[in-house]
Amino acid sequence: MHEATSAPPISHYDYIIVGGGTAGCPLAATLSQNATVLLLERGGAPYNNPNITHLSAFGKALSDLSPSSPSQRFISEDGVINARARVLGGGSCINAGFYSRAATQYVSAAGWDGRLVNESYRWVEEVVAFEPPMKQWQSAVRDGLLEAGVGPYNGFTYDHLVGTKVGGTIFDGEGRRHTAANLLEYANPNGLTVLLHASVHKIFFRIEGTEHRAYLNNGPKNEIIISAGALGSPQLLMLSGVGPKDHLKAHNITLVLDQPLVGQGMRDNPMNAIFVPSPTPVEVSLIQVVGITRYGSYIEAASGEHFASGASQRDFGMFSPKIGQLATVPPKQRTPEALSRAIESMEVLDPTIFMGGFILEKIMGPISTGHLQLKNKNPNDNPLVTFNYFKDPQDLQRCVNGLKVIENVIESKAFSQFKYDNLSLPNLLNMTAKAPVNMLPRHGNASTSLEQFCKDTVMTIWHYHGGCQVGRVVDNNYRVLGVDALRVVDGSTFYYSPGTNPQATLMMLGRYMGVKILEQRIESLQTN
């Protein structure tokens, strides 16, 4: 790894990959076996940062708002606080670590080669996937799901199967995170150059005759590949002149290709959680168990100390004012001073209030869609994105159905030791509805109307996708339609988020497409 400032004035590569994230790292590692690759990452390295590497520190990277943070906050136009990775390894460095494959139906619908998909998943799993240790709280959630009728029990598996299962994790047995950056172990060091803090402002096209510093070598199969994520990839295409004509004109960007579907079809899986205080201590755990229902809701859980992590500093997980913001404070009053006062007021609360965990539901899909637009021409600034959570009534119904399952889990015999008898579900809903989880207004009936609770307490589970979808912006080989030697390989190409968590499939996709691109390259060389 090298700092971008140390790069030579001019360099040449067979492939230039923009974005060293969840898909970009395995893609670069694979292509480096048979070609020269430049991997450009706008953030730094994940190593030697305990807020990334330690399971017990989950939340601290998300609440770090400094310019050097591996997590760059953005707030959707819907008022939901979200995070965009800014580090080698991408979202796998700041997520909750759950590892689960896409459903076989998803693979078929995507038109992928099932054999190569399975080989690619196994290639990833050799380095980053582990079976989590199942302790009391997670076991109670698992057994509660089975009591609630979310069956059958499928045991520990990476596969996406209806019922209740224990999924994989990228945290090893000692709680150390393994990320997509670890997949660079597979790379040929002589074929790969990794530049950190390398912000890409624009891709130049030959028709403009503009000189630039990193060139593609001469060759029919040499390419630029964008793996900048669901926000970064459509943003970079627009900055480079590929996007909706009128929108680019409004930002004084020279048009290369009028492509009105860039930035369209943005989706984010809405998450709604219920915090359950526990009368007995619970282990520190992130997502381990998942209930995959038949009607489109996924039930997951997290617990432990990251909701009051140590006497010196508490992060309060998803309840943190630093992550969730101040939902009950008018927008103009959400100042750093107000934030500090909120944090101070939470610091003095009895730690036992925060002893417990979240049971959450995420809806599959989703069906509701939004759009992304440029805010300005600075690639380091977040674009404007709207997800339109629960715009489709089917999404809202799936949320309500999921909350009903959570209610049954909380009331189950298996979960009884981790619940106060005098706290009814309306009490728990009311507690959660008052927490600063987003910037939306609150309604008095949120504890009695599950529909209102879904709308008022919607959060992200960081699974946003879309903006460069297959068949709309890229073809089935992920080539940008109407442009030569340019592909997009990341979650921006998805219509729906795969499985219960996309990171396994994103890493698989990087490997999968790397193999496919090399096969095409070798075939071309043999033909010529």
Q: Which residues are known catalytic residues? A: 463
* Single-letter code of the amino acid located at 251: H
* H or E segment to which residue 426 belongs: helix 425-433
Which pairing describes strands 98-99 and 168-169: parallel, antiparallel, or unpaired? antiparallel
C-alpha closest to that of 325 among 464, 141, 457, 147: 457
Task: Give Cβ neighbours of residue 405 (< 8 Å, ≥ 6 apart).
Answer: 145, 148, 150, 291, 293, 297, 299, 361
Residue the block writes with tokens 């440029």? 374
Taking the C-alpha atoms of residue 196 and residue 100, their distance in angstroms, rounded to an integer, is: 29
Taking the C-alpha atoms of residue 461 and residue 294, their distance in angstroms, rounded to an integer, is: 20
462 is known to lie in a ligand binding site: yes
Q: Between the CA of residue 70 and those of 54, 93, 258, 297, 492, what are the distances in Å?
A: 14, 8, 33, 30, 20
200 is known to lie in a ligand binding site: yes
124 is known to lie in a ligand binding site: no
Under 8 Å between Cβ of 135 and 283: yes
How many helices and strands (H and E) does the chain possess?
A: 13, 24
112 is known to lie in a ligand binding site: no
Which pairing describes strands 15-18 and 223-226: parallel, antiparallel, or unpaired? parallel
503 is known to lie in a ligand binding site: yes
CB atoms closer than 10 angstroms to residue 12: 14
CB atoms closer than 10 angstroms to residue 295: 12
Which pairing describes strands 2-3 and 192-196: parallel, antiparallel, or unpaired? parallel
Cite the annotated binding site by residue number.
Answer: 87, 200, 462-463, 491, 502-503
Binding site, annotated residues for FAD:
87, 200, 462-463, 491, 502-503
